[in-house]
Amino acid sequence: MFCYILLLNYKAPSGAPPDPSVIDVAPTTATCKWNSLPCEEQNGPIRLYEVQVEELTTVTRKLYYKFVNLTPFTEYTWSVQAKNDVGYGPRTTGISFTTNKTGKVV
């Protein structure tokens, strides 16, 4: 998506990334995704997304992230926020998921 933005009032993103969800869960990994911000909430080009699960924080330029090295059968809460050249926008509400138990699925 391309957004044309008049940069007279340049500021941090005004919205959180929409539609955050967990799309895949395994014993030690989970993949989460979200959609890009609507143009009117970007307030400038989005440079990256900061993704957080518990105390781990990382950044990506993609609209998804795969958490690795998680503990099996454990509940986690994750969130994401967008960043442009001015700063970070609001973080999404935390989304919870539980990793699968270790072992063979029969």
Amino acid identity, position 35 = N
Q: What local confidence, expressed as pLDDT, does residue 104 receive? A: 53
* Structure tokens belonging to residue 81: 């926020």
Q: What local confidence, expressed as pLDDT, does residue 5 receive? A: 53
pTM: 0.87
Q: What local confidence, expressed as pLDDT, does residue 3 receive? A: 62
| Alpha helix positions (H), the chain | 39-42
pLDDT in tens, the chain (106 residues): 556 555 556 899 999 999 999 999 999 999 999 999 999 999 999 999 999 999 899 999 999 999 999 999 999 999 999 999 999 999 999 999 999 997 554 4
Let me know how long the chain is: 106
* Domains of the chain (ranges, CATH numbers): 9-95 (2.60.40.10)
* Structure tokens belonging to residue 76: 């986690």
Amino acid identity, position 63 = L
* Distance separating alpha carbons of residues 53 and 7, to the nearest angstrom: 33
Q: Comparing C-alpha atoms, which of 92, 91, 80, 86 is closest to residue 12?
A: 86
Q: How far is CA 87 from the centre of its chain?
A: 16
* Distance separating alpha carbons of residues 69 and 88, to the nearest angstrom: 27
- Other beta carbons within 10 Å of 39: 12
Q: What local confidence, expressed as pLDDT, does residue 106 receive? A: 40
